[in-house]
Amino acid sequence: MPGKVKVVNRPESEASYVRAATKGMSITLKHMLDPRKKTQQYPDEKWELAPRHRGTHRMEVHEDGRAKCVACGLCPTVCPVNCIKLVPAEDENGERFAAVYEIDEFRCIFCGMCQEVCPVEAIHLGVHYENAEYSRERWVYDLERLCEQDHDVTALWDPADKASQ
Amino acid sequence: MAAEASTTATKAPPAPDTVSLTIDGVGVSVPVGTSVIEAAQRTGVVVPRYCYHPGIPTRPAQCRVCLVEVEGRPKLEPSCTLEAQDGMVVHTASDTANDARQAVIEFLLVNHPLDCPICDAAGQCMLQDYAWVTGQLKSRLDEPKQVMGRDRVADDILYFADRCIICTRCVRFMRDVADNDSLIVAQRGHKAYIDTFPGQDLDNPFQGNIVDICPVGALVHEDFLFKARAWDMDPAQSICPGCPTGCNVTIDTKENEIVRLKPRWNPDVNSYWMCDYGRKRLVMSQRGVRSETPLVRGEADLRQARWGEALDWLADRLRALGSAGGRAIVSADSSNEDLFYLGLLLKRLGVDSTMFTVETGPTAALPGVPKLKLRADRAANGAGAEMLGARRVSRGDLNGANGGGVLIVLDDALEGADQFWGADADLFIYLGTRRPEAARSADAVLPTANFAEMDGTFANWEGRVQKFAQALAPPGAARPAWMVLSRLLARLDDTEQAVNTAETAFDRMAGEADAFQGMTWSGLGPKGAIAPGAPASAEPAGPAAPVANNGRPGS
């Protein structure tokens, strides 16, 4: 048995979609014309990051492509989450170098202490945020991969310029 | 105590053989002839020092960092050569003394490369420490630093000339303690560096000590180069297993591997030193394939078993055999607790013949420390094995026929025995750190921990019982032999208890074994104690035999 259906007879001015659509489009139009707000066309347009943004690491290299790291062991010591693995060794010139240098970016909390402690300005955090990977293992960056990164390095906080201007 | 000493310093007439002085406001009485630096140490004041080392008799007072102010004297005096005198008032940290010290450190840093990040001494470097303490943290030097590079003073010791502060500890250790003139200071002033005498090589069985006494990172042992930072290592107080001398050592480990050995001070055994053979031997003792799982005889072959299963199986077999007799072979590398608990088991099985063999090698002596020698035996605990009733025999006797009964081998390598050896015994139990070919016919192979992987004691050549502490985790299921044997005993006898600490094992041994009567684990202390049943000293008087082969294995 069909139930009773209450039929509401609203006036045409209220029932029409035109009014709602116009209202919605006017908001859209307002945002289109508003100079302060805009939708970012990611990934065609990239987000502009602050110079002190702390993202995935980058290792600085010498002109000949060798990593600047001297394997002093200060970054694994200072790292609060133990995400840096370092095995120092002696190279063919008798210099100390990092035979193994791995940073687990998944574990990293991007505190930047490794960059701050580095005596030779080798390891840096990067102004970088695109890090999607298909596997967890890929998040462990080895030395080669850290050297290959070409994004900007993070600027350290300057005590003389507290607001970074 | 300080106040009491202070009053004696002013009021009581000093005994004729002591002098009383005041150091930094604290009175102290010391024997006549004590230097101020040593007197200060008694009051808890460590005066900075580079050239002074308590183990080296000569005091050149050339580093000038231990300068102290003495009231009534016009100039600062080096406290290492300044003899303590009655009524002396010394200020080790007055403004004058601190200024002088700061200037000395600043001069030392003029040509120092400050390569602390790659220097192996960083973190335990006296130059780093004192530079920090003096507070001069900015260099005022405009000139470029002198670069000298690095050299090799011995086949396994590197010398970084730039880091060297010419304290000459190494030269004086070799000359005055090791009686070896091959190390010298070449050139003078800022050009000075350490080198071997032209035409001579540094080749001494005790040369590794120069690395330990180097206050900075100038001398580095090649085996340790770039291995680990000072703060990464876990130290364990241990005993060198290389020979019956039983040198006290600190084993530095990193990630369950030995990275370095340092001698530990014990005036009754090794003073501040140890030999190079011991250093190599200890590291080598950790190499190779280890026995990691208990194995028991299955239908035909050995099969893996859990510990409880293996010990139950073994207890059943031993119960069936009863007091069958037989013989036991032990290793002189086993701890006293291992040997004692094996003895308890053997008594129960009616085995009265326990034997061991020790390989011998060349000896070496350190002229400056008569007691410290590389002794001929190449095992640490021969004395302990004899005190616990084992008999020393030749390798040939050891590998002879067994003739029935139980055969228990504790960690002997069974060198020279073939794979059928031991098949003539009714039950052949092999407890060991490794599994040699000759243990193939064993009915049970039980993996044990070596001395670096457990707590325990060794008795050295004169019967001094010394503790060693665990440095590493044992591999796989390996456990200390005393732990395993006490559990086997507990299965055979309800009155026996499974033992979990070396202390319990030792205290039981001290209660039951005559040679250790009355000793206690805590009573051993850091320097060890002579056992009541110590062997009469068999040490021949006079200088040791000349060193052959430089005291090193296989070189």
Buried b (16+ CB within 10 A) or exposed e, B284-303: ebbeeebbebbbbbeeeebe
CA closest to A98 among chain B residues = B226
On chain B, the residues whose CB falls within 8 A of the CB of A121 are none
d(CA B546, CA B209): 20
d(CA B200, CA B196): 6
Write the CATH number for B185.
3.30.70.20
Model pLDDT for residues B395-421, shown as the tens digit of each residue:
888 887 777 789 999 999 888 888 888
User: Under an 8 A CB cutoff, do A70 and B118 touch?
Assistant: yes
State whether B41 and B157 are in the same domain. no
Is B288 domain-assigned? Answer: no
Which pLDDT value is given to residue A165? Answer: 60
Distance from CA of B121 to the nearest CA of A (A): 12
Confidence category of residue B553, pLDDT binned at 50, 70, 90: very low
d(CA B41, CA B49): 12
B6 pLDDT more than 70: no
State whether B319 and B201 are in the same domain. no
Which residue has 């990172």 as its token pair?
Answer: B217
Is B21 domain-assigned? Answer: yes
Say yes or no: ipTM exceeds 0.85: no
B435 pLDDT more than 50: yes
User: Under an 8 A CB cutoff, do A120 and B117 touch?
Assistant: yes
Is B240 domain-assigned? Answer: no
User: Under an 8 A CB cutoff, do B226 and A89 touch?
Assistant: yes
Tokens of A88: 């120092």
Q: Nearest Cβ partner of A90 from B226, B229, B232?
A: B226
Is B125 domain-assigned? Answer: no
d(CA B487, CA B306): 13
CA closest to A70 among chain B residues = B118
Model pLDDT for residues A83-115, shown as the tens digit of each residue:
999 999 999 988 999 999 999 999 999 999 999
B367 pLDDT more than 50: yes
Which pLDDT value is given to residue B547? Answer: 34
Is A15 domain-assigned? Answer: no
d(CA B349, CA B404): 13
d(CA A84, CA A109): 12
Is B207 domain-assigned? Answer: yes
Closest CA to B27 of B68, B82, B87, B81: B87
Tokens of B161: 């000339």
Confidence category of residue B11, pLDDT binned at 50, 70, 90: low
On chain B, the residues whose CB falls within 8 A of the CB of A88 are 226-227
CA closest to B231 among chain A residues = A77
Closest CA to B22 of B44, B5, B37: B5
On chain B, the residues whose CB falls within 8 A of the CB of A69 are none
On chain B, the residues whose CB falls within 8 A of the CB of A114 are none
* Pairing label, strands A55-59, A123-126: antiparallel
Residues 59-118 of A with CB under 8 A from B: 70-74, 77, 88-90, 94-96
Model pLDDT for residues B482-520, shown as the tens digit of each residue:
999 999 999 999 999 999 999 999 999 999 999 999 999
Distance from CA of A101 to the nearest CA of B (A): 14
Is B300 domain-assigned? Answer: yes
Write the CATH number for A72.
3.30.70.3270
State whether B17 and B83 are in the same domain. yes
Is B137 domain-assigned? Answer: no
SS3 of B474, please? coil
Residues ≥6 apart with Cβ < 8 Å to A123 = A57, A58, A59, A60, A69, A75, A103, A114, A115, A146
* CB-based contact B69:B90 (threshold 8 Å): yes
Model-wide pTM > 0.80: yes
Is B243 domain-assigned? Answer: no
Confidence category of residue B285, pLDDT binned at 50, 70, 90: confident
Say how many domains are in chain A: 1
Angle CA B125–B130–B135, to nearest 5: 135
Angle CA B282–B463–B407, to nearest 5: 70
B5 pLDDT more than 60: no
Model pLDDT for residues A5-56, shown as the tens digit of each residue:
888 888 877 778 888 899 999 999 988 888 776 678 888 988 889 999 999 9
State whether B9 and B78 are in the same domain. yes
Mean per-residue pLDDT, B339-368: 93
* CB-based contact B215:B50 (threshold 8 Å): yes
State whether B155 and B102 are in the same domain. no
Domain limits for position B192: 144-232
CA closest to B119 among chain A residues = A72
Confidence category of residue B8, pLDDT binned at 50, 70, 90: very low
Q: Which of B124, B158, B162, B226 to mutate to test the interface with A (most CBs of A within 10 A)?
A: B226
Q: Letter for the amino acid at B187?
A: Q
Q: Which of A72, A82, A84, A117 to mutate to test the interface with B (most CBs of B within 10 A)?
A: A72
Q: Which of B114, B115, B118 to mutate to test the interface with A (most CBs of A within 10 A)?
A: B118
Which pLDDT value is given to residue A115? Answer: 96
State whether B227 and B311 are in the same domain. no
Q: Which of B186, B214, B232 is a domain's end point? A: B232
User: Under an 8 A CB cutoff, do B226 and A96 touch?
Assistant: yes
User: Under an 8 A CB cutoff, do A119 and B117 touch?
Assistant: yes
Radius of gyration of chain A (CA): 27
State whether B340 and B459 are in the same domain. yes
User: Under an 8 A CB cutoff, do A72 and B117 touch?
Assistant: yes
Buried b (16+ CB within 10 A) or exposed e, A33-66: eeeeeeeeeeeeeeeebeeebbbbbbbbeeeeee
Q: Nearest Cβ partner of B226 from A74, A88, A119?
A: A88
Residue A110 vs residues A84, B191, B435: alpha-carbon distances, Å: 12, 47, 49
Residue B510 vs residues B353, B532, B535: alpha-carbon distances, Å: 22, 10, 16
Is A19 domain-assigned? Answer: no
State whether B440 and B348 are in the same domain. yes
Strands in B460-515 per DSSP E: 464-468
B309 pLDDT more than 90: yes
SS3 of B308, please? helix
User: Under an 8 A CB cutoff, do B117 and A94 touch?
Assistant: no
On chain B, the residues whose CB falls within 8 A of the CB of A91 are none
Which pLDDT value is given to residue A164? Answer: 62
Which pLDDT value is given to residue B555? Answer: 26
SS3 of A84, please? strand
On chain A, the residues whose CB falls within 8 A of the CB of B231 are 77
B462 pLDDT more than 80: yes
Give burial (CB, 10 Å; 0-12/13-18/19+) of B60.
Answer: middle
Is A81 domain-assigned? Answer: yes
* CB-based contact B155:B345 (threshold 8 Å): no
Q: Letter for the amino acid at A128?
A: H
Is A59 domain-assigned? Answer: yes
Which pLDDT value is given to residue A3? Answer: 79
Say how many domains are in chain B: 3
State whether B378 and B332 are in the same domain. yes
d(CA A38, CA B346): 88
State whether B432 and B542 are in the same domain. yes
CA torsion sign for A67, A68, A70, A72 is: negative
Model pLDDT for residues B176-232, shown as the tens digit of each residue:
999 999 999 999 988 999 999 998 889 999 999 999 999 999 999 999 999 999 999
Say which range, B48-62, B116-130, B259-273, B415-429, has the weakest mean pLDDT. Answer: B415-429
Distance from CA of B301 to the nearest CA of A (A): 42
Q: Which of B212, B232, B252 is a domain's end point? A: B232
State whether B469 and B347 are in the same domain. yes
Tokens of B131: 């530079």
User: Under an 8 A CB cutoff, do B232 and A90 touch?
Assistant: no
State whether B382 and B487 are in the same domain. yes
Residues 112-151 of A with CB under 8 A from B: 119-120
Is A46 domain-assigned? Answer: no
* Pairing label, strands B150-154, B157-160: antiparallel
* CB-based contact B439:B417 (threshold 8 Å): no
Buried b (16+ CB within 10 A) or exposed e, B195-217: bbeeeeebebbbbbbbbbbbbbb
User: Under an 8 A CB cutoff, do B118 and A72 touch?
Assistant: yes
